[in-house]
Amino acid sequence: MSSVNLMILKSINSDTKTSVTFVNKSCHNVTTIWLNYEGKPVTYSKIAPGKSYVQSTYVTNPWIVVNVDTQSYPLMLLNGWSVFFPQQSDTTVDIVDPSADLSFQECLAPKYHGIIS
């Protein structure tokens, strides 16, 4: 997946259930990835730009998100962080591209070329 070692991050237990709404505010298709109890990445959901996905999870389960096209780093940012740890209450997480030159609104805006008004 990458040269960065995520093996130090892993899920601890499944004691406290919660849910996370991942909102893709990037210009890329992204994939949510859970780091399991051995620290191994487990792919969950692909999310298109502007779309969201609700994931059931547990408080001690870390999540990362990657660009579908590159499947590599830099990671997409989750509320400003490269790794997201769920809270006890249901949480919404904004996914953004840390290397983006365009704002989310700019990348989804229709492109009009050669139109004379």
Q: What is the pLDDT of residues 57-71, one digit of tens each?
A: 999 999 999 988 887
Has residue 52 got a pLDDT over 90? yes
Q: Looking at residue 59, what is its pLDDT?
A: 95
Instruction: Pull the structure tokens for residue 84.
Output: 């997201």
ω into 86 cis (within 30 of 0): no
What mean pLDDT do residues 97-117 have? 57
Q: How confident is the model at residue 2 (pLDDT cuts 50, 70, 90)?
A: very low
Has residue 80 got a pLDDT over 90? no
pTM for the complete prediction? 0.78
3-state DSSP call for residue 33? Answer: strand
Find tokens 């997409």 and name the residue: 76
Residues forming a β-bridge with 65:
32
